[in-house]
Amino acid sequence: GQQLNQSPQSMFIQEGEDVSMNCTSSSIFNTWLWYKQEPGEGPVLLIALYKAGELTSNGRLTAQFGITRKDSFLNISASIPSDVGIYFCAGLNYGGSQGNLIFGKGTKLSVKP
Protein backbone atom coordinates (compact mmCIF):
# COMPACT_ATOMS: atom_id res chain seq x y z
CA GLY A 1 0.00 0.00 0.00
CA GLN A 2 0.88 3.65 -0.01
CA GLN A 3 3.48 4.76 2.50
CA LEU A 4 4.81 8.09 3.61
CA ASN A 5 8.42 8.56 4.66
CA GLN A 6 8.63 11.31 7.26
CA SER A 7 11.92 12.72 8.47
CA PRO A 8 13.55 13.32 10.78
CA GLN A 9 12.13 10.89 13.35
CA SER A 10 13.03 13.23 16.18
CA MET A 11 14.58 16.63 16.75
CA PHE A 12 16.10 18.27 19.80
CA ILE A 13 16.46 22.00 19.35
CA GLN A 14 17.05 25.18 21.31
CA GLU A 15 14.25 27.67 21.79
CA GLY A 16 14.37 30.26 19.03
CA GLU A 17 15.74 27.93 16.37
CA ASP A 18 13.93 27.20 13.13
CA VAL A 19 12.71 23.67 12.39
CA SER A 20 12.21 21.82 9.10
CA MET A 21 10.65 18.44 8.51
CA ASN A 22 9.41 16.70 5.41
CA CYS A 23 7.40 13.85 3.99
CA THR A 24 7.92 11.95 0.78
CA SER A 25 5.87 9.33 -0.99
CA SER A 26 6.17 7.07 -4.00
CA SER A 27 2.56 7.99 -4.87
CA ILE A 28 0.92 11.31 -5.62
CA PHE A 29 -1.70 12.87 -3.38
CA ASN A 30 -4.49 15.39 -3.96
CA THR A 31 -4.09 16.86 -0.49
CA TRP A 32 -1.34 17.11 2.08
CA LEU A 33 -2.16 17.70 5.73
CA TRP A 34 0.02 18.46 8.72
CA TYR A 35 -1.08 17.54 12.25
CA LYS A 36 0.39 18.17 15.71
CA GLN A 37 -0.15 15.80 18.61
CA GLU A 38 0.51 16.92 22.17
CA PRO A 39 1.00 14.41 24.98
CA GLY A 40 -2.25 12.70 25.98
CA GLU A 41 -4.24 14.26 23.15
CA GLY A 42 -5.33 13.39 19.66
CA PRO A 43 -3.76 14.93 16.55
CA VAL A 44 -4.93 18.42 15.68
CA LEU A 45 -4.91 19.76 12.14
CA LEU A 46 -2.38 22.57 11.58
CA ILE A 47 -2.31 23.15 7.85
CA ALA A 48 -4.04 21.71 4.79
CA LEU A 49 -2.60 21.99 1.26
CA TYR A 50 -4.65 21.38 -1.87
CA LYS A 51 -2.58 22.40 -4.90
CA ALA A 52 0.85 21.40 -6.15
CA GLY A 53 3.30 24.19 -5.36
CA GLU A 54 1.01 25.75 -2.76
CA LEU A 55 2.71 27.49 0.15
CA THR A 56 0.53 28.11 3.22
CA SER A 57 1.27 29.72 6.55
CA ASN A 58 -0.36 29.47 9.96
CA GLY A 59 1.42 31.84 12.31
CA ARG A 60 5.01 30.66 12.65
CA LEU A 61 4.26 27.51 10.65
CA THR A 62 4.72 27.31 6.89
CA ALA A 63 3.99 24.25 4.79
CA GLN A 64 4.43 23.53 1.11
CA PHE A 65 2.80 21.07 -1.26
CA GLY A 66 5.60 19.73 -3.44
CA ILE A 67 5.41 20.40 -7.16
CA THR A 68 5.60 16.68 -7.94
CA ARG A 69 2.64 16.06 -5.53
CA LYS A 70 4.79 13.40 -3.88
CA ASP A 71 6.20 15.46 -1.05
CA SER A 72 5.48 18.16 1.49
CA PHE A 73 7.49 20.26 3.91
CA LEU A 74 6.73 21.91 7.23
CA ASN A 75 8.81 24.70 8.69
CA ILE A 76 8.47 26.21 12.15
CA SER A 77 10.21 29.51 12.71
CA ALA A 78 11.55 30.79 16.04
CA SER A 79 10.50 27.72 18.02
CA ILE A 80 9.06 28.07 21.52
CA PRO A 81 8.58 25.46 24.27
CA SER A 82 4.89 24.95 23.44
CA ASP A 83 5.90 23.67 19.98
CA VAL A 84 6.83 20.39 21.69
CA GLY A 85 4.90 17.43 20.34
CA ILE A 86 4.73 14.96 17.51
CA TYR A 87 4.12 16.33 14.03
CA PHE A 88 2.47 14.07 11.48
CA CYS A 89 2.16 14.54 7.78
CA ALA A 90 -0.76 12.90 6.01
CA GLY A 91 -1.62 12.43 2.37
CA LEU A 92 -5.15 12.16 1.07
CA ASN A 93 -6.76 11.16 -2.19
CA TYR A 94 -10.44 11.97 -1.95
CA GLY A 95 -13.08 11.35 -4.56
CA GLY A 96 -12.82 7.60 -4.24
CA SER A 97 -13.38 5.26 -1.34
CA GLN A 98 -12.98 6.56 2.16
CA GLY A 99 -10.16 5.67 4.51
CA ASN A 100 -7.52 7.07 2.20
CA LEU A 101 -5.75 9.35 4.67
CA ILE A 102 -2.24 7.95 4.92
CA PHE A 103 -0.06 9.08 7.85
CA GLY A 104 3.67 9.40 8.19
CA LYS A 105 5.22 7.98 11.35
CA GLY A 106 5.75 11.38 12.90
CA THR A 107 8.54 13.74 13.89
CA LYS A 108 8.95 14.15 17.63
CA LEU A 109 10.04 17.69 18.47
CA SER A 110 11.70 18.62 21.74
CA VAL A 111 12.48 22.28 22.49
CA LYS A 112 14.97 23.25 25.16
CA PRO A 113 14.22 26.60 26.82
Binding site for other proteins (CB under 8 A): 1, 9, 31, 33, 35, 40-45, 48, 50, 88, 90, 92, 94-95, 97-101, 103-106
Asked if 66 and 49 touch (Cβ cutoff 8 Å), the reply is no
Amino acid at 39: P
Paired residues of 30 in beta bridges: none
CB of 30 to other proteins, least distance (A): 8
Given the complex with other proteins, which of 66 and 104 has the nearer CB atom? 104
CB of 113 to other proteins, least distance (A): 25
CB of 48 to other proteins, least distance (A): 6
Given the complex with other proteins, which of 44 and 78 has the nearer CB atom? 44
Torsions phi, psi for 69 (to 5 deg): 70, 10
Given the complex with other proteins, which of 14 and 82 has the nearer CB atom? 82
- Residue 76, CA distances (Å) to 10, 69, 98 in order: 14, 21, 31
CB of 19 to other proteins, least distance (A): 19
- Residue 53, CA distances (Å) to 37, 43, 66, 73, 109 in order: 26, 25, 5, 11, 26
Given the complex with other proteins, which of 13 and 86 has the nearer CB atom? 86
